[in-house]
Structure 1
Amino acid sequence: MSDQQGATTGPADAAGPPAAATRTESGGGMRVDARRNRENLLAVARTVMAEEGLDASLRDVARRAGVGIATLYRHFPTREALVQAVLSDRLNALADAADESLAAASPGAALTAWLHRFTAGSGTFHGLPGSVLAALHDGGSELHGSCVAMHESASRLLERAQESGEVRQDMDAEDLFTAAAAIGWAAQHSETERAERILTLLTDGMLAGEKDSRGRPG
Structure 2
Amino acid sequence: MNDVERAGKRADAIANRARLLEVARAVFARSGLDLEVTDIASQAQVGVGTLYRHFGNREGLLRAIVTDIAETADAQIRQAILPYRDEPRSALRALITAGLSVQQQYQSLFPVLRDFRLTKLFEPAQREAMRAQFLDLGREIIERGILAGIFRKDLDVDVAAASIFGSLTGVFESLGKYYPLAELEERLFQLLWVMVAKADEP
Shorter-chain TM range is: 0.5 to 0.7
Conservation of the 8 A alpha-carbon contact between 1:91 and 1:147: no
Residue identity opposite 2:73 in structure 1: R
Superposed CA offset, 1:8-40 (max 9, x none): xxxxxxxxxxx99xx5328xxx74543332132
1:185 Cα deviation after fit = 3.0
Aligned mates of 2:69, 2:192 — CA distance in 1:
31
Corresponding residue of 1:115 = 96
Superposed CA offset, 1:108-143 (max 9, x none): 1321121111111122112449959x98x94234xx
Corresponding residue of 1:78 = 61
Higher helix share: 2
Corresponding residue of 1:175 = 163
Asked if 1:57 is matched to 2:26, the reply is no
Aligned mates of 1:63, 1:192 — CA distance in 2:
38
Distance 1:199 1:96, change over 3 A: closer
Corresponding residue of 1:191 = 177
Asked if 1:155 is matched to 2:134, the reply is no
Distance 1:210 1:31, change over 3 A: closer
Q: Give 3-state SS (helix, strand or coil) of 2:6's partner.
A: coil
TM-score by length of 2: 0.65
Distance 1:138 1:172, change over 3 A: farther
Residue identity opposite 1:25 in structure 2: A
Superposed CA offset, 1:14-72 (max 9, x none): xxxxx99xx5328xxx74543332132134345x2697487683544322101244432
Name the count of aligned residue pairs.
181
Aligned mates of 2:162, 2:112 — CA distance in 1:
14
RMSD: 4.1
Q: Give 3-state SS (helix, strand or coil) of 1:103's partner.
A: coil
1:198 Cα deviation after fit = 4.8
Greater C-alpha Rg: 1
Identity %: 20
1:96 Cα deviation after fit = 4.2
Corresponding residue of 1:90 = 73
Conservation of the 8 A alpha-carbon contact between 1:99 and 1:154: no
Corresponding residue of 1:3 = none
Distance 1:35 1:195, change over 3 A: closer
